[in-house]
């Protein structure tokens, strides 16, 4: 666990400020005061990367809760998806409790979605790959029950608008997530390539079946670079989310291998 995770109590609530700071402060309850005391005692303040990690964690689970409530009810599949993400992150009991509280906060009718998204965008410092990963996780949440409700789609499109993700980019991310869900949604290794449909493989790489070998290879390399776990963590992805990024790279690699196999490359 990164230093930010160990200190995710009042220190980050205080340092982040704004709606994200209020959310993370509320999610850890009594630790808010202890975090402030730690700072007063000379505790080092979080750096840029730790701030971004805390903002990503806070926004991810609170917006996930808001999205789950978009159609008026939170389904069992949506709850299981949130718990699955927490489980794959292997969160400590303390961080899991914070994530669950953030999810609940997001379901509130008074949840300040736009303010949360605007602060999250600022904390990401134009790191587009981080923002894309955030949208991918929200898409996985929306597809948890197999279908995206119109109200969920409206929120997803609004999220992209605030985060400055174009409609073209959103369609590509959605295709990647849909195909990944059909693979099982939990990552895949190269041995899974033969079980992946060829169309799903093209969808994952977001290229046409008529694309040249060179175009397919460029798409593969671009997606692998965007999802590289170490690069994402260096830019502010919480270390606990490395496994999710790793699973994505496995899906992308399996898709590329499936296409190469079909083309006899």
pLDDT in tens, 232-246: 888 888 877 788 888
Contacts of 56 (CB under 8 A, 6+ apart): 120, 123, 124, 130, 134, 236, 237, 238, 241
| Positive or negative: CA dihedral 248, 253, 259, 262 | negative
Asked whether residue 48 is domain-assigned, the answer is no
- pLDDT tens digits for 122-136? 999 888 999 999 999
Structural domains of the chain, count: 1
Domain residues for the domain of 219 are 182-265
> Would you say how long the chain is, in residues?
265
**Of 37, 44, 51, 62, whose CA–CA distance to 4 is shortest?**
51
CATH number at residue 201: 1.10.287
Asked whether residue 137 is domain-assigned, the answer is no
Tokens of 39: 């700072």
Asked whether residue 109 is domain-assigned, the answer is no
pTM: 0.79
Asked whether residue 164 is domain-assigned, the answer is no
Measured between its terminal Cα atoms, the distance across the chain in Å is: 41
Model confidence at 92: pLDDT above 80? no
Asked whether residue 194 is domain-assigned, the answer is yes
């Amino acid at each position: 666990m990164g230093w930010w995770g160990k200190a995710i109590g009042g220190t980050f609530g205080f340092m982040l400020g704004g709606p994200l700071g209020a959310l993370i402060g509320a999610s850890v309850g009594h630790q808010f005061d202890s975090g402030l005391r730690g700072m007063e005692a000379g505790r080092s303040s979080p750096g840029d990367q730790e701030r971004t990690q805390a903002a990503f964690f806070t926004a991810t689970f609170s917006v996930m809760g808001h999205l789950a409530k978009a159609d008026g009810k939170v389904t069992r599949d949506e709850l299981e998806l949130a718990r699955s993400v927490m489980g794959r992150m292997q969160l400590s009991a303390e961080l899991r409790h914070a994530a669950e509280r953030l999810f609940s906060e997001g379901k509130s009718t008074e949840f300040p979605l736009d303010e949360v998204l605007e602060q999250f965008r600022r904390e990401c410092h134009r790191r587009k790959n981080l923002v894309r990963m955030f949208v991918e996780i929200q898409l996985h949440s929306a597809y948890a029950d197999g279908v995206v409700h119109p109200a969920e789609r409206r929120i997803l499109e609004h999220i992209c608008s605030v985060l400055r993700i174009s409609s073209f980019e959103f369609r590509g991310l959605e295709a990647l997530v849909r195909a990944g869900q059909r693979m099982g949604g939990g990552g895949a290794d190269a041995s899974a390539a033969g079980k992946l449909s060829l169309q799903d493989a093209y969808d994952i790489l977001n290229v046409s079946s008529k694309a040249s070998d060179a175009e397919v290879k460029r798409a593969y390399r671009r997606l692998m670079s965007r999802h590289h776990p170490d690069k994402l963590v260096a830019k502010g992805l919480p270390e606990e989310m490395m496994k999710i990024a790793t699973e994505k790279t496995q899906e992308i690699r399996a898709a590329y291998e499936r296409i190469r196999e079909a083309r006899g490359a």
